[in-house]
């Protein structure tokens, strides 16, 4: 059995998301800031007629804030409750990764809310695999849940 990963850069490190959790990748565009939002929720992206929240998880990963540049992209991923964008510095591509021979099935309680699910080697580089569910912090979830009705009504007003 193999896993397809979308590999991307944050700082000098590479990370991956399972392709099944990724909806699309778009170039960074202007984001609309959200007042009172958690610091990693950096704004809203208008994508195909809908508003998509965008997060920057560098701080949660212990990485320094990046300087905006032309190669940045937004990886739009689907969680069980949200479609959300993840700001990344660049895309390396999609790779096929075989699970390690000594992989152990861990109980869900052990792996729940773990941002980094594992580490694999791809073309001589260490790639930390992320989980889309865990990438959205509890503070961001709470903020989005509390403002969901407001965001949906704004979509209607913008489309009108």
pLDDT tens string 15-70: 999 999 999 999 998 899 988 999 899 999 998 888 899 999 887 788 887 777 78
Output the pLDDT for position 45. 92
pLDDT at 157 over 70: no
- CATH H superfamily, domain 3-159: CheA-289, Domain 4 (2.40.50.180)
Tokens of 80: 């069980």
pLDDT at 112 over 50: no
| pTM assigned to the model | 0.80
Cβ neighbours around 159 below 10 Å, total: 9
3-state SS class at 143:
helix
Burial 34-57 (b: 16+ CB within 10 A, else e): beebbebbbbbbebeeebbbbbbb
| pLDDT range class, residue 8, cuts 50, 70, 90 | very high
The string of DSSP codes covering 64-82 is PPPPP-TT-EEEEEE-SS-
Q: 83, 77 in Cβ contact below 8 A?
A: yes
Output the pLDDT for position 108. 41
Q: DSSP label at 19? A: G
Question: Cα–Cα distance between 96 and 108 in angstroms, integer?
Answer: 24
């Amino acid at each position: 059995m193999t896993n397809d990963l979308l590999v991307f850069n944050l700082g000098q490190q590479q990370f991956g998301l399972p392709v099944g959790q990724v909806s699309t990748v778009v170039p960074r565009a202007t984001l609309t800031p959200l007042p009172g939002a958690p610091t990693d929720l950096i704004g809203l992206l208008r994508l195909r007629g809908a508003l998509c929240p965008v997060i920057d998880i560098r701080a949660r990963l212990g990485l320094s804030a990046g300087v905006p540049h032309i190669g940045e992209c937004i990886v739009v991923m689907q969680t069980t409750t949200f479609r959300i964008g993840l700001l990344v510095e660049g895309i390396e591509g999609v790779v096929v990764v075989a699970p390690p021979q000594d992989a152990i099935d861990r109980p869900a309680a052990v792996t729940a809310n773990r941002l980094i699910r594992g580490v694999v080697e791809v073309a001589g580089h260490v790639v930390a695999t992320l989980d889309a569910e865990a990438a959205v912090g509890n503070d961001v979830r709470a903020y989005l849940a509390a403002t969901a009705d407001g965001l949906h009504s704004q979509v209607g007003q913008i489309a009108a």
